[in-house]
């Protein structure tokens, strides 16, 4: 499995011969590695944790361009389906699906989820995290969330090896609470801090997070950099 960080909460995961995008916020993302799309031959699946613009991002355009299937909350699937995305896998918290050798499980997150249209918030269902499992490796993308004790249940049920954990603060966990999540509730081998440094408001420091984590190896990626597990 190859995991490439594309800035913010966006990832490109390659596993079981499939190319999976998570929260593809590319346009307007100052940390997106420019030119990355030029080398992207295919996209099989797009996974969305919630409906905020900095996560929904380029989903509609990319799904149409590559004929990708969108895996997301029911309400998000109906939203992008109304914009012409044809391949949809609506699901909800607690559910799992299998597609082409990859298992997608939607798990809880505590946040909000809406898109703004004409100045009015349009609900996009509940926020979520995902556990993506292929070739014997499970990756936990926590989405945008605070720390919560039931992360221990996510670890117990799905046994993720890799965690993609937000540390930027203000809108998600900061370094201290994200480290608490890793030290007390999760048991990850590899931890990648995400959702930091994109904008000035996200002041959480991934190096401070790494200093505080006592369980698991923290890998701080630069946008466009990959990790193989």
Identify the architecture of domain 2-221 in CATH. Answer: 4-Layer Sandwich (3.60)
Give whole-number Cα distances, 176 to 108, 111, 147, 168, 210, in Å.
Answer: 20, 18, 10, 10, 10
Q: Give the number of C-alpha atoms closer than 13 A to the C-alpha of residue 204, restricted to the C-beta side.
A: 27
SS3 at position 70 = strand
pLDDT score of 213: 98
Residue in 91, 100, 187, 97 with CA at minimum distance from that of residue 135: 100
What is the per-residue pLDDT across 39-63, written as a single tens digit (0 to 9) for each?
999 999 999 999 999 999 999 999 9
Residue 22 φ/ψ region, left for φ over 0, alpha for ψ in the -120 to 50 degree band, beta for the rest:
beta
Strand partners, 45: 20, 69
pLDDT reading at 182 higher than 90: yes
What is the per-residue pLDDT across 110-132, written as a single tens digit (0 to 9) for each?
999 999 888 899 899 999 999 99
What is the per-residue pLDDT across 5-44, written as a single tens digit (0 to 9) for each?
999 999 999 999 999 999 999 999 999 999 999 999 999 9
Could you report how far apart the first and last alpha carbons of the chain are, in Å?
A: 5
pLDDT score of 11: 99
pTM of the model: 0.98
Neighbour count for residue 110 (Cβ, 10 Å): 16
Spatial distance between the Cα atoms of 202 and 169, rounded to a whole number of angstroms = 6
pLDDT score of 156: 98
Spatial distance between the Cα atoms of 77 and 174, rounded to a whole number of angstroms = 30
Give burial (CB, 10 Å; 0-12/13-18/19+) of 33: middle
What is the per-residue pLDDT across 134-161, written as a single tens digit (0 to 9) for each?
999 999 999 999 999 999 999 999 999 9
Spatial distance between the Cα atoms of 74 and 79, rounded to a whole number of angstroms = 9
pLDDT score of 117: 87
Q: Return the domain boundaries, the chain.
A: 2-221
What is the per-residue pLDDT across 201-227, written as a single tens digit (0 to 9) for each?
999 999 999 999 999 999 999 999 999
């Amino acid at each position: 499995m190859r995991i490439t960080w594309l800035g913010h909460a966006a990832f490109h995961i390659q596993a079981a011969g499939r190319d999976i995008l998570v929260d593809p916020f590319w346009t307007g993302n100052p940390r997106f590695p420019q030119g990355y799309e030029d080398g992207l031959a295919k996209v099989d699946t797009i996974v969305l944790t919630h409906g905020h613009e900095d996560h929904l991002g380029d989903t509609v355009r990319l799904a149409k361009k590559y004929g990708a299937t969108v895996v997301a909350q029911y309400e998000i699937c109906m939203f992008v389906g109304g914009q012409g995305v044809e391949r949809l896998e609506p699901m909800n918290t607690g559910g799992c699906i299998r597609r082409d050798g990859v298992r997608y499980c939607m798990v809880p997150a505590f946040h909000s989820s809406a898109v703004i249209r004409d100045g009015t918030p349009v609900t996009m269902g509940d926020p979520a995290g995902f556990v993506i499992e292929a070739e014997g490796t499970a990756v936990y993308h926590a989405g945008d969330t605070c720390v919560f004790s039931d992360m221990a249940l996510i670890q117990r049920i799905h046994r993720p090896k890799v965690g993609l954990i937000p540390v930027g603060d203000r809108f998600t966990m900061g370094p201290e609470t994200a480290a608490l999540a890793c030290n007390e509730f999760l048991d990850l081998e590899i931890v990648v801090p995400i959702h930091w440094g994109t904008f000035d408001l996200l002041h959480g420091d991934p190096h401070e997070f790494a200093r505080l984590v006592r369980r698991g190896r923290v890998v701080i990626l630069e946008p466009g950099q990959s990790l193989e597990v």
